[in-house]
Amino acid sequence: MEAALKKEVSGVFEREQHRLLAFIRGKVHRLEDAEDIFQDVLLSTLERLSVTDPIENVAAWLYRAARNRIIDWYRKKKPIPVSFQEKDGDMSFRQLIDESGLNPEEAFFKDLLANEISKAVEALPAEQRDVFVWQAVEGRSFREIAEKTGDPVNTLLSRKRYAVQFLRERLFEMKELMDDYL
């Protein structure tokens, strides 16, 4: 009976493998990470097989397991520290853009973009800049920032909102230029 169950699961898995991997790739952009999650899903599904407690809908089980693995992957993933001035161990915006896979023809725009982002963030008022960098760049929660600064979470949310509005306005021309070029 267990052999028949494994055969059924492997048949469903073969039919769904391309769609399942595409589903995972839609949530996790690096192919290597998506393939790792994909293999974890297969392994956990095969380990879960039981004659006494069968999986009713194997395809649904696979997608649910993939979604859960993706959530776990994001929870474990630590944000890459990014700074505006290069320090030991931190990445600068220029390095982050370098690793994004832009081709050599876009080198001019890459440098221009990194400089404009750095200038725009540096032009923010200090309180807005700090909240924006801590939350958007370093990945800290508003609760952590509130504990650090002593400011209410709603105040921090407002500061980030104003910072984002300022950055949008400041970088709008850069976005149009990039849209025209790319």
102 has a pLDDT exceeding 70: no
Q: Supply the DSSP symbol for 52.
A: S
Q: Where does a domain end: 21, 48, 76?
A: 76
- Percentage of the residues of the chain whose pLDDT score is greater than 90: 16
Question: Do residue 24 and residue 102 come from a single domain?
Answer: no
Return the sign of the alpha-carbon dihedral for residues 162, 168, 169, 171: positive
Question: Do residue 89 and residue 63 come from a single domain?
Answer: no
Q: Are 23 and 66 in contact (CB under 8 A)?
A: yes
Indicate the pTM of the whole model: 0.43
64 has a pLDDT exceeding 80: yes
Overall average pLDDT of the 155-169 stretch? 92
Quick: pLDDT tens for 47-59.
776 655 666 777 7
97 has a pLDDT exceeding 60: no
Quick: pLDDT tens for 124-136.
999 999 999 888 8
Q: Where does a domain end: 76, 94, 122?
A: 76
* pLDDT value, residue 162: 94
* Mean pLDDT, rounded, of the chain: 77
Quick: pLDDT tens for 6-16.
777 777 778 88
Question: Do residue 25 and residue 39 come from a single domain?
Answer: yes
Encoded amino acid at 19, one letter: R
Overall average pLDDT of the 98-104 stretch? 54
Residue with token string 């859960």: 68
Q: Where does a domain end: 76, 107, 133?
A: 76
Angle at 53 between CA 51 and CA 54, to 5 degrees: 70
Instruction: State which residues form the domain around 65.
Output: 2-76
Q: Which two tokens stand for residue 101?
A: 């896979």
